[in-house]
Amino acid sequence: MTNEYRDLSENVIIVTGANTGIGLETAKELATAGAKVILACRDEQKGKAAEKIVDSVRSFSAQYMKLDLSDLSSVRLFVNEFKSKYNRLDALVNNAGLILQTKELTKDGFEKTFGTNHLGHFLLTNLLLDVLKKTPEFRIITVSSLAHSFTGFDMNDLNFEHRPYGNGFPAYG
């Protein structure tokens, strides 16, 4: 079997939600290709465990950094810490997401699913654009689903104040 990976040994890549599922598998594959992978996760214990898993694929290729996308001040702190350590960002993989069974609000007052899955990533991407643009051939990858096609989107009720929250799927969609 031949190596089908592009050499990413000079690349720095952030993967949000890299502690489980698609995010963890993405981080492992990027590390296999040689990238320095920043595991941007809310839960420190799970993030550090994922760091060990990714490092086992390729030694010293992962670094956990705390990022809670439901808290916009956490997004700002993450970006400041990242920029203090790195002067390039080859790719940003916006992967983290959640679905809640009951309605919750973020610290900033937004419905938590929308605040985490969309607003947090929007702010993160915008705050990292200057670093991304300095890096040749940078990429922004956003993982999504088809859930939006099964629900309605009401710009006048993003916080689900006037319609039923249900099982959380309408907010997720």
Residue 6 lies in a domain: no
172 among known catalytic residues: yes
| CATH number, domain containing residue 78 | 3.40.50.720
In DSSP notation, the chain reads: --------TT-EEEEETTTSHHHHHHHHHHHHTT-EEEEEES-HHHHHHHHHHHHHHSTT-EEEEE--TT-HHHHHHHHHHHHHH-S--SEEEE------SS--B-TTSSBHHHIIIIIIHHHHHHHHHHHHHHSTT-EEEE---SGGGGS---TT-TT-SSS--TTSHHHH-
Convert the pLDDT of each residue in 101-156 to its tens digit.
999 999 999 999 999 999 999 999 999 999 999 999 999 999 987 766 667 777 78
Per the domain annotation, does 149 fall within a domain? yes
**Catalytic option among 5, 64, 165, 172:** 172
Summarize pLDDT for 52-92 with one digit per residue, the tens: 888 787 766 889 999 999 999 999 999 999 999 999 999 99
Quote the pTM value: 0.90
Give the residue numbers spanning the domain of 149: 12-172
Residue 38 inside a domain? The answer is: yes
Domain count for the chain, please give it: 1
Whether residue 7 is contained in a domain is answered as no
